[in-house]
Structure 1
């Protein structure tokens, strides 16, 4: 399942990009989560990642771990492809 991770950096880690990314990538790999893309933004969130995770619990575990490490905060949302959305529309109409 794909998820969108909306993240904010802790100010202490914002200037230590390589360390933060290295720690996060190692934890993602350990949880079986694959990064599909990373985007840095301006505005409410500092970054948006698209990941493929084996289950919702893995994403939850990563979000909790990220916060407890003091790296920042992450909000996660499931991401559905167009086919899944079309199926949901059909199911909703039935």
Structure 2
């Protein structure tokens, strides 16, 4: 019995996007960029007094900006890649 090849989450995401019509993928790509770009380019606010209790909020906001920066390019790229002919 043949085993199924393991796929990554990115491969699964592209497989789902490939089943959508081209205009739906283009819409998803534009909406993802329009949502993630302002988050990624948001300026970092430096607090005047930093206590150890405040560090979790600073780290969480920076982590959100980091994922938004990568996602604003990766999600539209995946949408375009999914619609290319095989």
TM-score by length of structure 2 reads 0.30
Q: Kindly indicate which of the two structures has a greater share of residues assigned to strand.
A: 1
Whichever structure has more helix as a proportion of its residues is 2
What TM-score comes out, normalization by structure 1 length?
Answer: 0.28
Larger Rg: 2
